[in-house]
Amino acid sequence: MLEHKTWRVAVLAGGDSDERTISLQSGAAVQQALTARGHLALHLDPSVVDLAGVDWRQFDVAFLALHGQFGEDGQVQQILDEAGIPFTGSNAAASRLAFSKSAAKERFLQFGVPTPAYSLLHYTDDASRIRSVTEEVGYPLVVKPDCQGSSLGIS
């Protein structure tokens, strides 16, 4: 029979992004599940704790339940990579790429992956540019922030 190892898990949840509430809910569920299975799970909120100053040697692994900026954009992953702590999810470079919808889209197109028509707009674009893009892309269309998740900002 295999011996059960108790893991010391840093559950990263919260943060300052618009997705804080979703992140806290995710983190609480993860922490509860880990604790129920006999692991030591400690919640770390990057809006309260400076992650660069954490002594990561006290943990076996970090579970990322962060959403949005400073959670899915590669910044936290870079800190954890530099600290040498294993963590859930993709590495910093992959996280940066995936977090930007336009950068990911360009990579898909580069490798021949079919994607719907798109155009990148900036909040400073004037009405004529927006009309031009709308005509180019056509309807129906979806407007979504380039670097936002959890369906926030969709119109």
How far is the C-alpha of 140 from the C-alpha of 117, rounded, in Å? Answer: 11
Residues of the chain below pLDDT 70 = 1-3, 147-155
Domains of the chain: 8-98 (3.40.50.20), 100-155 (no CATH)
Looking at residue 153, its pLDDT comes to 56
Tell me, what's the pLDDT at 150? 56
The length of the chain, given as a count of residues = 155
Integer angstrom CA distances of residue 38 from 6, 30, 31, 33, 138: 6, 13, 11, 9, 54
What is the predicted pLDDT for the residue at 82? Answer: 93
Q: What is the pLDDT of residues 57-90, one digit of tens each?
A: 999 999 999 987 888 888 999 999 999 999 999 9
What is the amino acid identity at position 100?
Answer: S
**Cα–Cα distance list, 4 to 7, 11, 37, 86 (Å):** 9, 20, 10, 19
